[in-house]
Structure formats: C-alpha cells, structure tokens
Copies of this chain bind each other. A is one copy, B any other.
Amino acid sequence: MRVLGVDPGLTRCGLGVVDGGKGRSVSCVAVGVARSPQEDELASRLMAVSTEVERWLDVHQPQVVAIERVFSQHNVRTVMGTAQVSGVVALAAARRGLPVAFHTPSEVKAAISGSGRADKKQVTTMITKILGLAEAPKPADAADALALAVCHLWRAPMMDRLAQAEARAAELARNHRAKLKAARERSAQQKSAGPKAAPETGGKTR
C-alpha cells in the first residue's frame, strides 16, 4: 500500500510518500515540502500548498492520505493556518476518492520510536533508520511527513482489527438488546392478555 503522509503547514507543508510491503517493511518513494510565501494573502497561500499537494497526488498516486491531527494548544495564529491546510489537503484527497486518516503527533511518535514523548530529533533519527535513508530528510516537516506515512502503514492493520472487533461487539450488543426487547414485549403481552383472559378462563375452570 502506498501512503502520502502530510505534516500540514502554510510556510512549510511536509510531504512524504512511503510504500508498505509485507509485515513492517517500508520504503521511501519521495519526500519534500510544499511552501507558500509568508507575505502572500492567506487564500493564495492555501492555493499554493493545495496545488503542490495535488501535483504529488497525481505524480505518486498514493492509495491513502495520512494527515497529522492538529491541536489548538499551540500558538493560535499558527494553528488556524495549519488546520486550514489540513482541510484543503483532506478535500484534495476526498475529491480523488482517497481515504483520509488522521493521526496525532503522539501516535506518530509512539509508532516510530516506541514513545509518545520522543522529541523531533529522535523521530528524524528513527525514520532515517527505518527507511534506510543515506541521510536525514530535511527540513523536520519532511521527516515528520514520512513518519506519518509509516505510522499509518503500521497502525492501519491494527485499526482495522479494532474496527472489526468493535463492529462485532456492537452487533452482539444489538442482538442482545433485540432479544431483551422481544422478551419484554412477550411478558407485556402476557400481562395485558392475562387480566382479560383470567375471568373468562377463570369462569370456566371455577
């Protein structure tokens, strides 16, 4: 499966394409960043990043797009731009019928380094090793995008299993509720039928 990982940003939007093979084998297809000039207006910056992302979708034909989930605990202005970029990237993927997955920074760190608290440097070092790259991808946003793609490839089978298990559990719960409801209805019918029938049959038997 081929995944495009996206570390959303207006100034630098990290992009990384990774192929996943058997088990945990992964290989880097392409890595880079989409940029937009800081002095431009927001709408044209979003367009510049979106156009570059669409070019990557056309050139590399990924089957899934994995985007970093944005949180608002950081700088408010930056976060809004980041959220807007993640929106236009998700839209570009959806328009091509591609599934979009979101992973949080700590999910990515945990998947790549085994710890949700790893710092940027550790993630870069690990992703360089995992993908067997000759040198560390630069800037950090590009490395993060590769980490996102690998995180998706490694988490996706687990998430699928989880989704299947949840669906099974939900079905069992539905069946159980249906049986309970049927039992309640039967007992209610017997009750409502009971008092009416009682005098009749009672009359006969007595």
Contact = CB atoms under 8 A, between A and B. Distances in A.
Interface of A: 41-44, 46-47, 50, 70-72, 76, 79-80, 83-88, 90-91, 93-95, 99-100, 102
A43 B83 contact: no
A46 B87 contact: yes
Contacts of A44: 94
Nearest to A47: B94
Contacts of A42: 90, 100, 102
Given A42-B100, A80-B70, A91 B90 contact: no
Given A43-B100, A95-B47, A102-B42, A84 B90 contact: yes
Contacts of A90: 42-43, 46, 84
A102 B80 CA distance: 13
A148 to B, nearest CB: 16
A102 B91 CA distance: 21
Most B CB contacts (10 A, CB to CB) among A47, A76, A87, A90 go to: A87
A159 to B, nearest CB: 13
Contact of A43 (B72, B84, B94): B94
Nearest to A48: B94
A88 B76 CA distance: 19
A87 B43 CA distance: 8
Nearest to A86: B84
Contact of A91 (B46, B71, B93): B46
A43 B93 contact: yes
Contacts of A93: 43
Contacts of A80: 70, 72, 83
A19 B44 CA distance: 25
A43 B44 CA distance: 21
Nearest to A87: B84
